[in-house]
């Protein structure tokens, strides 16, 4: 006897059925082309937060963007030490093999990872009990010092400053990768910082000349 799906899986299966009827069937030519391979021109590095799906926010079709998602949309600095470097592997694949033309780092409002980095709520936790997250958001420690000096650790202004600082850190870390740095210098690759505000649904793009996030109108 087949085991009945859980309510959670059942909800996903119902969505899959709608997709098969309205999404896949009505766009068969697109899916047939993707069967031969992918050629996205943009990589988006975003948070794993369930509220900020890049494909939904940018309203793109399958195959248009190559996406890597993780806690707080962070990019670690380039390193060659042994380990499992998931973000670095995705970045290398996008830049070296897919030859994307643009990388967008998109932070977002109400980010739990950035809030934890700001308050240091996970300090002292062990791997498997919060330690993995604490180690990951430790990449924001230096940025945190400046945010705290200017905004403190409480309130929405401090949280947004931390969220946007995270985008700047990831952009700086991207430029430590030789393949990224070389392609950006030669004009083959562009890096862009972005911020999506959950509260009002407005996308902001970082103007690196002024270091300000400007709303997209």
Same domain for 68 and 157, yes or no, is yes
Residues 112 and 203 in one domain: yes
Do 1 and 62 share a structural domain? no
Enumerate residues 6+ apart whose C-beta is below 8 A from 170.
Answer: 45, 73, 74, 75, 105, 193
Q: Are residues 52 and 3 in the same domain?
A: no
Residue 141 DSSP SS3:
helix
Q: Do 98 and 163 fall within a single domain?
A: yes
- The pLDDT value given to residue 123: 82
Contact 78, 178 (CB under 8 A): yes
Q: Is the dihedral of CA 67, 70, 75, 80 positive or negative?
A: negative
Identify whether residues 139 and 178 lie together within a single domain: yes
Which pLDDT score, from 0 to 100, does residue 201 have?
96
Look up the domain containing 122 and give its range: 38-215
Judgement on whether residues 3 and 88 belong to the same structural domain of the protein? no
Total count of domains within the chain: 2
pLDDT digits (tens, 9 = 90+) for 22-70: 888 878 888 899 999 999 999 999 999 999 999 999 999 999 999 999 9
Tell me the Ramachandran region of residue 86: left when phi exceeds 0, alpha when psi lies from -120 to 50, beta otherwise. Answer: alpha
18 and 103 belong to one structural domain: no
| Total-model pTM | 0.94
Q: Is residue 25 located within the same domain as residue 115?
A: no
Residue from 160, 134, 161 nearest 146 by CA: 161
**Of 97-106, 115-124, 129-138, where does the model show the most confidence?**
97-106
What percent of the chain has pLDDT above 70?
A: 99
29 and 58 part of one domain: no
Mean pLDDT of 170-190: 98
CB 71 within 8 A of CB 48: yes
* 160, 166 contact by CB (below 8 A): no
Is the domain of 7 the same as that of 74?
Answer: no
- How many Å apart are CA 48 and CA 157, to the nearest integer? 22
Give the model's confidence band at 109: pLDDT under 50 very low, under 70 low, under 90 confident, else very high.
very high
Q: Scanning the structure block, which residue is given the tokens 């940025």?
A: 143
Angstrom distances, CA of residue 119 to CA of 33, 131, 144, 166, 195:
47, 15, 9, 14, 21
Same domain as 100, residue 24: no
| 1 confidence band (pLDDT: 50, 70, 90) | very low
Looking at residue 209, which CATH number applies to its domain?
3.40.1050.10
Paired strand residues for 68 = 45
For residue 10, give the 3-state DSSP assignment.
helix
């Amino acid at each position: 006897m087949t085991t009945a799906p859980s309510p959670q899986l059942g909800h996903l299966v119902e969505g899959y059925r709608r997709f098969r009827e309205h999404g896949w069937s009505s766009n068969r030519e697109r899916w047939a082309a993707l069967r031969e391979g992918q050629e996205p021109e943009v990589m988006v590095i975003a948070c794993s937060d369930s509220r900020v799906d890049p494909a939904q926010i940018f309203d793109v079709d399958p195959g248009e963007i190559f996406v890597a998602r993780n806690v707080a949309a962070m990019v670690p600095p380039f390193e060659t030490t042994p380990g499992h470097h998931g973000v670095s592997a995705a970045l290398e694949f996008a830049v070296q093999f897919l030859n994307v033309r643009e990388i967008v780092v998109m932070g977002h409002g109400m980010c739990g990872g950035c809030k934890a980095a700001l308050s240091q709520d996970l300090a002292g936790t062990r791997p498997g009990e919060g330690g993995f997250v604490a180690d990951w958001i430790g990449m924001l420690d230096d940025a945190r010092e400046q945010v705290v000096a200017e905004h403190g650790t409480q309130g929405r202004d401090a949280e947004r400053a931390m969220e946007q600082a995270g985008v700047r850190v990831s952009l700086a870390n991207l430029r430590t990768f030789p393949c990224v740095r070389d392609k950006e210098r030669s004009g083959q690759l562009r890096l862009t910082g972005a911020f999506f505000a959950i509260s009002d649904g407005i996308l902001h793009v970082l103007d690196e000349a002024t270091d300000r996030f400007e709303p997209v109108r």
